[in-house]
Each structure stands twice: as C-alpha cells, then as structure tokens.
Amino acid sequence: MLKRWRVAGVAIVALHAASLAVSQQVRTESGAISGMRERGLNLYHGVPFAAAPVGDLRWRPPARLAPWTGTRQALAFAPACMQEGVSMTGGQTSNAGHATVAGSAAAPADQLCRDSVSHVPGPSWIRERFFSACEKSQADHGRQLRELFIRNLGRAMFVFLPLLAALMKLLYWRSPRSYITHLVLLVHNHALVFLLMSTVLAVQHWIHLEAPVVLLVRGLMCYLVYYLYRSMQRVYAESWWRTSAKFMAVFVAYLACAACTVFLTGLYSAETL
C-alpha cells in the first residue's frame, strides 16, 4: 500500500512539474523570463534588451539593462517604436527596447516528459500512461488536464461528502441523529459556501475596487465561520465547549479529506487523460 502511495506521489509531482514547464523558463543576462508555447515553438514576447532610451539615455547608444528579480512574464508584445501611420500590436511608445524571441520547443518538451517520468517507480505501464499525459499537457498548455480535473472534482464530491458524514457519525456516536442528518448538514453548509463564493465573484465582476472586495471577503469569511459553528450547535444541541472542540476536529478532518480528494482526483485525471 505504501509503495502505491509512493508511486502516486512521485507521478503526480512529476506531471505537475511538467505542466508548470509548458512555457520554458530561461535565464538572460538581466534575469529569468517565462514565455508561452504555440505551434511547437517557445515564444517570448516583449523581452527587454536595453535600458529605456529616456532622459540622459536619449539619442545615445543602447545602455545595459538593469537586472530584475523573480521571473518576468514574456507573454505579450511590448509597445513598438513611434511610427506615423502604423498600427502595432501592443501600442506605440518612445521608450521601446524590447524584442520577441522564438525557439523550437518540441525536443525540450519531449525530453522533459521523459526525464520526469523516468523516475517514477513501478511497472512500465504506469510510466507510459504518465508520459502520454505529460505530452498531451505540453501540447495544449494543460487545458485538457485542467478541464478533466475540474469535471472529476465535481464527481469526487459524491465520495467526499459521504465520507465526511461518516466521520461526523463517529464523532457524534452518542447522538440520536442519523447518518442522513450529518450528510444533509454538510450539503447545506456547502451550498452556503458556494452561495458566498458566487456573491464574491459577482461583486468582483461589477466593482473593480480592491478595498471593498477585500472587506467583503473578510466579512463573509467571519460570517461563514460563525454560521458553521452555530449550525453544529443548533443541530446537535451541545454545550459551547463541546461544540468548539468538535468544530475544530471536523475542520481538521475536512482539510485532510479535501487534500486526499484533490490529490486522488488529480492522479485519476492524469491517468485517464
């Protein structure tokens, strides 16, 4: 059993590393850049090659670019040089000093998948399945894997909630409440969570100010914790300290079950890709 979990863990980490490397990351003299894949090529848009020709640098030879920290996202065209009567993608500016770089991505992507999957222990058919999933993820930027994971995650809720209800049945083994009562309470509370999430998304769509949205999220989080606590206290009619202790136990069990559900769903999605 332990070996199976090891196989699953190494495989999902390898696939995750491969999916993160869909846009090859390279290092320049000034810092790291990350681009995008398109038609078998690694593309890096808007890569700066010189300091902006402004101020004292105007009408002078190109100056060395100041280095940056972290990884620069080279995903969009930078503004082009000012040209009368010419329309360029990304607009125009007098401070241009950027370029687009393209290189073959087929060989690195294939080699990356082979190197990642070669470390997976177990029979060869496991490595073949994950190598195929890695190649497909590389080809479409992981789009199909993400869609399959989201679809399978919804199906996994039909296992996740009944399992959590069984744990609550053990936690309240002296309570006359039935297993269905625990399950209905969990479904009810999850419906509230999705309602609050929908409210936040709607507010973010209509209000483009960060401060009100942050205040709303914090307020809803506080209300959600209070509501979940009160729902347990009201349904099971126990003292506040018993309810608090069992609330923390359910919270820990929820996080553990959720982590296992996400992990196994990702593993299943990769194997069936």
- pLDDT surpassing 90 at residue 226: yes
Is 12 within a domain?
Answer: yes
**Number of domains making up the chain:** 2
pLDDT band at residue 101 under the 50/70/90 scheme: low
Q: What is the mean pLDDT of residues 158-165?
A: 90
Is 103 within a domain?
Answer: yes
| Domain-terminating residue out of 122, 141, 160 | 141
Q: How far is CA 69 from the centre of its chain?
A: 22
The pLDDT of residue 81: 65
> What sign does the dihedral 79-80-82-86 (CA atoms) show?
negative
- pLDDT surpassing 90 at residue 4: no
- pLDDT surpassing 80 at residue 78: no
Task: Tell me the residue range of the domain where 237 lies.
Answer: 143-271
- pLDDT surpassing 50 at residue 1: no
Which is nearest to 130 in space by CA: 24, 1, 273? 273
Q: What is the mean pLDDT of residues 144-167?
A: 88
Same domain, 234 and 171: yes
pLDDT band at residue 21 under the 50/70/90 scheme: very low
Cβ proximity of 15 and 133 under 8 Å:
yes
The pLDDT of residue 17: 45
Same domain, 248 and 115: no
- pLDDT surpassing 80 at residue 99: no
Same domain, 147 and 202: yes
pLDDT band at residue 231 under the 50/70/90 scheme: very high
Same domain, 167 and 120: no
Same domain, 128 and 199: no
pLDDT band at residue 223 under the 50/70/90 scheme: very high
Q: Which of 51-55, 97-101, 111-115, 204-208 has the lowest mean pLDDT?
A: 97-101
> What sign does the dihedral 31-45-134-115 (CA atoms) show?
negative
Q: State in Å, rounded, how far the first CA of the chain is from the last one.
A: 24
The pLDDT of residue 207: 82
Cβ proximity of 30 and 67 under 8 Å:
yes
Is 168 within a domain?
Answer: yes
Question: Which of the two residues, 137 and 100, has the higher pLDDT score?
Answer: 137
In whole angstroms, give the CA distance from residue 174 to residue 194.
31
- What is the reported pTM? 0.54
Same domain, 30 and 129: yes
Question: Which of the two residues, 113 and 39, has the higher pLDDT score?
Answer: 113
Same domain, 17 and 130: yes
Q: What is the dihedral of CA 247, 253, 259, 261, to 10 degrees?
A: -110
- pLDDT surpassing 60 at residue 228: yes
In whole angstroms, give the CA distance from residue 227 to residue 267.
34
In whole angstroms, give the CA distance from residue 197 to residue 212.
15
* DSSP run (H or E) holding 37: strand 36-38
